[in-house]
Structure 1
């Protein structure tokens, strides 16, 4: 993960936190139930049901995602 992203400080985070994704076409959020969260400074990749979502780590520890980047972790990391 660190070598692929080029971020030596990349870490896996606990999934015990609020994680949401912006609802398509709405000003609302839908909750995610991640089984993996990878942090790259303030950006995160969150895996929910086999799909990787890009998001941002909030000051309170929650993660707000804005889009799915598919099921391929390598492609999601290259999208950072």
Structure 2
């Protein structure tokens, strides 16, 4: 499980702030178009990926890749 959230953040805090009780941290073993992420969060149909200190928004493809 991915635990590389920014300092001071937990998945529970992400859920609380986002209002999405089902938000989850995803594993990093997937293709992500922006490069090599160090954190991936899932919010139903949307995902956030952090790579090189920047956050990107995308969706999971049927093969599990993030585009």
- TM-score (normalised: structure 1): 0.65
Match in the other structure for 1:39: 42
Cα RMSD for the two superposed structures? 0.8
- Can you give the 5+ residue segments of structure 2 that lack an aligned partner in the other structure? 1-13
- Tell me the alpha carbon deviations over residues 4-49 of structure 1, each in whole angstroms, 9 at most, x when there is no partner: 110000000001100004xxxxxxxxxx100000000110000000
Question: Quick check: which has more Rg, 1 or 2?
Answer: 1
Runs of 5+ unmatched residues, structure 1: 22-31, 65-80
Question: Whose strand proportion is higher, 1 or 2?
Answer: 1
Q: Which runs of 4+ in 1 moved over 2 A?
A: none
TM-score normalized by the length of structure 2: 0.77
Matched positions, count: 54
Written as runs of structure 1 = structure 2, the 5 A alignment for 1:1-80 is 1-21=14-34, 32-64=35-67
